[in-house]
């Protein structure tokens, strides 16, 4: 882990600041803030999931996808980035890819009604 001191002391503040910047439509500053977090914590799956979700929520699909793909490399058996990638694909209009990823999740989480219904959606 590159800079544990940054993560422990500053990460919640940095994430809150990024969200605040985006909510004020200061998207250039928001993206700079997110890039700094990613650069400092590029080997931390939890941080990448948090930043990726923030990016996804504000419509930065390519950057969100990069975060979630990095998490897949770091922790290949973690299903959270797959769900997020399915959501990115859905938002990007990549409905075939979204259904494929939801299908993967449906096989992994066969008991989850929400995942099953997302896999069966027809967009």
pLDDT for the residue 46: 95
User: Are 89 and 42 within one domain?
Assistant: no
For residue 69, being part of any structural domain is answered with: no
d(CA 46, CA 54): 12
User: Are 97 and 52 within one domain?
Assistant: no
User: Are 106 and 57 within one domain?
Assistant: no
- Digit-coded pLDDT (tens) for 26-67: 999 999 999 999 999 999 999 999 999 999 999 999 999 999
Q: Say how many C-beta atoms besides its own lie within 10 A of residue 33's C-beta.
A: 21
pLDDT for the residue 119: 52
Which domain, by its residues, includes 113? 79-123
- Digit-coded pLDDT (tens) for 67-96: 999 999 999 999 899 999 999 999 999 999
User: Are 43 and 83 within one domain?
Assistant: no
User: Are 89 and 122 within one domain?
Assistant: yes
- Please count the structural domains in the chain: 2
Can you say whether the dihedral through the CA atoms of 57, 61, 67, 71 is positive or negative?
positive
Q: What is the mean predicted confidence (pLDDT) over 106-116? A: 62
Q: Which carries the bigger pLDDT value, residue 16 or residue 8?
A: 16
For residue 73, being part of any structural domain is answered with: no
Q: How many CA atoms lie within 13 A of 11 on its CB side?
A: 18
- Digit-coded pLDDT (tens) for 17-27: 999 999 999 99
Closest CA to 30 of 7, 1, 65, 55: 55
For residue 40, being part of any structural domain is answered with: yes
For residue 46, being part of any structural domain is answered with: yes
Last residue of a domain, one of 61, 91, 112: 61
Q: Say how many C-beta atoms besides its own lie within 10 A of residue 114's C-beta.
A: 11
User: Are 2 and 54 within one domain?
Assistant: yes
d(CA 35, CA 91): 22
pLDDT for the residue 32: 96
User: Are 48 and 3 within one domain?
Assistant: yes
Give the chain's mean pLDDT: 85
pTM: 0.80
């Amino acid at each position: 882990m590159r800079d544990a001191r940054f993560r422990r002391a500053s990460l919640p503040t940095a994430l809150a600041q990024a969200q605040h910047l985006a909510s004020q439509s200061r998207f250039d500053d928001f993206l700079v803030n997110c890039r700094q977090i990613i650069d400092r914590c590029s080997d931390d799956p939890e941080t990448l999931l948090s930043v990726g979700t923030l990016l996804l929520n504000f419509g930065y699909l390519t950057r969100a996808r990069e975060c979630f793909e990095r998490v897949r490399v770091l922790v290949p058996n973690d299903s959270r980035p797959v769900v997020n990638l399915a959501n990115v694909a859905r938002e990007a209009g990549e409905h075939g890819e979204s259904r494929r990823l939801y299908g993967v999740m449906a096989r992994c989480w066969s008991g989850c009604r929400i995942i099953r219904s997302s896999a069966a959606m027809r967009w």
